[in-house]
Amino acid sequence: MSDDFATMTPRKIVEELDRYIVGQDKAKRAVAIALRNRMRRQKLPSEVRDEIAPKNILMIGPTGVGKTEIARRLAKLCGAPFIKVEATKYTEVGYVGRDVESMIRDLMAAGLAMVKAEMQVGVKEEAERRAEERILDLLLPGIKKPEEPLFGGASYADAAFPGQTQQRAPSPMLSEFSSAANAASGAGDSREKFRALLRDGKLDAREVEINVQASNPAIEILSGNQMEEMEVALGGLANMFGGKRKKKAVPLSEARRIFIAEELDKLIDPERAAEEARRRVQESGIVFIDEIDKIANKEGHTGGGVDVSREGVQRDILPIIEGSNVSTKWGTVDTTHILFIAAGAFNVAKPQDLIPELQGRFPIRVELEALSAKDFERILTEPKNALVKQYSQLLSTEGVELEFLPVAVSRVAEIAAAANSRTENIGARRLTTVMERLLEELSFESPSMAGVKVTVDEAYVDSRFKDFAERQDLSKYIL
């Protein structure tokens, strides 16, 4: 963390966000300060650290201006567990649907996947070696492999197949290889010859029969703690009886991938991974709650029915944001220090329409501005993942060189901005609609245009948008 604290200053965080998001400086500064405060908190003594709660953020702005992208990029920047949820998917207690605590379970699952991926990097080489030995056992069942000591002095046979003795018949499609190899040299040499063939990829297309974990369709008939308890119970039974497995014929390349994944799971301590994931979730987890304005009671509407349900969801979310203990199948998670970023367009409801207690839990409010034609120009070219770059890279796979002149980019930005002003304003998402229409014919014909260079200028754009130039009719470009 010391290295991060030295390098990830608020100014540096904003600069990193600028690589992907155009404008919205106020929102970037707010999240940069929130992230920096989390780093500052980690450097304090434990008795002081526990008293400092994160300053949750409420983003207010129309759709497509970068609210979700700012939160997503922030999480990637600091390597924190992150999930995006929609407030409209939750129901209050007593109604059928997702309960609000499931967002913390989803965050814990995301954190666990992140920790496992990091832990797998250190043992990947060993997992690949074990998978290779298992494949050779399949190909050469009659040839005894040399016993190699592994971790703790155990042999490979003990590690790969504990308590199991498997007799396999020789694979018929490989019998000619096996007999030739055995005739030429001893058993050890045959195994090494097959190892060389395997590493060269010469056996990848061969089919082998392996035992794989049978996947049972999951049906969520309960919710909340009941569902968690059922998952834990069923998981324990599966572990007790070894789980249900089935035979499956797959190419050798696919068998290698399956074996590597199984060996990676064996080499990782699940309890240690779960504990580290829980620590990260509690200390640095980020939950982005989108469409929070959709659960606000609109001013002047205080009737029953759906309004009661909206307020109920708000009241259920409140203790999660304030700080409470949520039971998951990986242990209890304390939400006190999780950072919550809520967002909404608030074009009908207002932030003041949220219940006062929930408003108080989002002390930092930032308004994101609607995007202009100039912003669209920058979005098309400046970010690392700019649309113009993406389309150029996609068509380059067909051997087509695509070049956008600056005047063409300006024209596309003007059309997108005009479409937003005359119809529903969907922000930067309009650019994808316009670009798809602009390059529709080229994308269709590109497989037969290898070696051709296409220059997109203002005339090219206007030729694809004649109805816009003549009648200002944008109905066919509406999402």
Model-level pTM?
0.73
Looking at 215, 244, 268, which one is the last position of a domain?
268
Burial state string for 46-83 with b = 16 or more CB within 10 A and e = fewer than 16: eeeeeeebbbbbbbbbbbbbbbbbbbbbbbebbebbbb
Q: Give start and end residues of each alpha helix (H) in 97-242.
A: 102-139, 156-160, 175-184, 187-199, 224-240
What is residue 283's predicted lDDT score, i.e. its pLDDT? Answer: 87
Instruction: State whether 239 and 290 are in the same domain.
Output: no
Looking at 367, 399, 427, which one is the last position of a domain?
367
Structural element, H or E, at residue 462 = helix 458-464
Instruction: State whether 337 and 356 are in the same domain.
Output: yes
Out of 48-57, 237-246, 385-394, 441-450, least confident range:
237-246
Out of 97-101, 125-129, 288-292, least confident range:
97-101
Interacting residues of 316 by C-beta distance below 8 A, sequence separation 6+: 90, 92, 93, 99, 100
| Domain-located, residue 117 | no
Instruction: State whether 258 and 279 are in the same domain.
Output: no
Instruction: State whether 242 and 137 are in the same domain.
Output: yes
Per DSSP, the three-state class of 200 is: coil
Nearest Cα neighbor of 109 from 336, 287, 342, 323 is 287
CATH code of the domain covering residue 48? 3.40.50.300
| Pairwise CA distance, residues 76 & 85, whole Å | 17
Instruction: State whether 242 and 197 are in the same domain.
Output: yes
Phi, psi of 435 (to 5 degrees): -65, -40
Instruction: State whether 63 and 178 are in the same domain.
Output: no
Residues 259-274 pLDDT 10s: 888 888 888 888 999 9
Structure tokens at 272: 């240690």
Looking at 249, 268, 287, which one is the last position of a domain?
268
Instruction: State whether 233 and 297 are in the same domain.
Output: no
Residue 69 CA from chain centroid, whole number = 13
Q: Is 453 exposed, middle or buried (0-12, 13-18, 19+ CB in 10 A)?
A: exposed
Instruction: State whether 148 and 106 are in the same domain.
Output: no
Instruction: State whether 325 and 387 are in the same domain.
Output: no
| Pairwise CA distance, residues 406 & 429, whole Å | 20
Highest average pLDDT, of 2-6, 203-207, 301-305, comes from: 203-207
What is residue 388's predicted lDDT score, i.e. its pLDDT? Answer: 92
| Domain-located, residue 384 | yes
Residue appearing with tokens 């500052």: 40
218: confidence class by pLDDT, cuts 50, 70, 90: very low
Instruction: State whether 155 and 256 are in the same domain.
Output: yes
| Pairwise CA distance, residues 178 & 76, whole Å | 49
| Domain-located, residue 409 | yes
CA distances for 199 relative to 196, 203, 385, angstroms: 5, 9, 36
| Domain-located, residue 393 | yes
Instruction: State whether 130 and 249 are in the same domain.
Output: yes
Residues forming beta bridges with residue 401, ordered by sequence position? 453
What domain range is 309 assigned to? 2-111+275-367
385: confidence class by pLDDT, cuts 50, 70, 90: confident
271 CB neighbour count, 10 Å cutoff: 10
> Using an 8 Å Cβ cutoff, are 330 and 48 in contact?
no
DSSP string, 321-383: HH--EEEETTEEEE-TT-EEEEEE--SSS-GGGS-HHHHHT--EEEEPPPP-HHHHHHHHHSS
| Pairwise CA distance, residues 138 & 261, whole Å | 17
218 CB neighbour count, 10 Å cutoff: 8
Residue 82 CA from chain centroid, whole number = 8
| Pairwise CA distance, residues 201 & 68, whole Å | 43
| Domain-located, residue 119 | no
Residues forming beta bridges with residue 454, ordered by sequence position? 402
> Using an 8 Å Cβ cutoff, are 195 and 136 in contact?
yes
Instruction: State whether 18 and 36 are in the same domain.
Output: yes
CATH code of the domain covering residue 451? 1.10.8.60
155: confidence class by pLDDT, cuts 50, 70, 90: very low
- Going by the DSSP 8-state scheme, the letter that residue 149 receives in this structure is B
Burial state string for 226-245 with b = 16 or more CB within 10 A and e = fewer than 16: ebbeebeeeeeeeeeeeeee
| Pairwise CA distance, residues 150 & 126, whole Å | 10
What is residue 35's predicted lDDT score, i.e. its pLDDT? Answer: 85
| Pairwise CA distance, residues 135 & 126, whole Å | 14
State the total domains in the chain: 3
| Domain-located, residue 120 | no
The pLDDT > 90 percentage for the chain reads 17
| Pairwise CA distance, residues 79 & 116, whole Å | 13
Residues forming beta bridges with residue 352, ordered by sequence position? none
94: confidence class by pLDDT, cuts 50, 70, 90: low
Is the backbone of residue 22 left (phi > 0), alpha (psi -120 to 50) or beta? beta
Residues 198-217 pLDDT 10s: 888 887 788 877 877 765 55
